[in-house]
Amino acid sequence: MGKPRYFRFDVEKVLAELCQDLNIPRKMIRLSTYTSSKLRLRNRLGSCGINVNHQGELTSYEVRIRVKGSSIEDQIEALAHELVHVQQYYRGDFTIKIKLHKVGNKERISYSEYWQGKNIRDWVCNSWKQYKALPWEVEAFAREDLLASKFSHIWN
């Protein structure tokens, strides 16, 4: 793994402002970085998931942003994009069903995600084109530029 594995701008400030603009609580966001995409779709610059406790309750949203091989502009846009997904949870468009299973004597947690009540597995996504056509992605891609544009002084 090469450098850098960190943000080259004041990410806390950007994150706080974006959370305010999107009306989502900063304290529910855990931010982490990755340096290379382990994702199936290599064009992706970020991801958004959830963290749960042992009782199967949601504790935070995990926003991961690729920091290696992406520009500051890309990173801020990716951050805005992933936070739109967090907002989609807050609005109730995304919902999660968490299941606790016992495997031997170990507890395992799995979850399913629904978009407007429909399991997200019901959408076909085998290509970048199909990915960008997913309804939650259409919105996130449509809004990321405008949300990020107020920070353009950082990369210009």
Q: Is 15 in the site for Zn ion (CB under 5 A)?
A: no
Number of residues that bind Zn ion (CB under 5 A): 2
Q: Which of residues 125-154 bind Zn ion (CB under 5 A)?
A: 137, 140
Residues 6+ apart with CB under 8 A from 52: 58, 59, 98, 109, 111
Token readout for 65 is: 């942003």
The nearest distance, CB 139 to Zn ion, in angstroms, is 9
38 vs 108, which CB is nearer to Zn ion? 38
21 vs 137, which CB is nearer to Zn ion? 137
The Cα–Cα gap between 129 and 49 comes to 22
For residues 97 and 120, the answer to whether their CB atoms sit within 8 Å is no
16 vs 138, which CB is nearer to Zn ion? 138
Q: Respond yes or no on whether the N-terminal peptide bond of residue 25 is cis (omega within 30° of 0).
A: no
- Residue ranges that bind Zn ion, judged by CB under 5 A: 137, 140
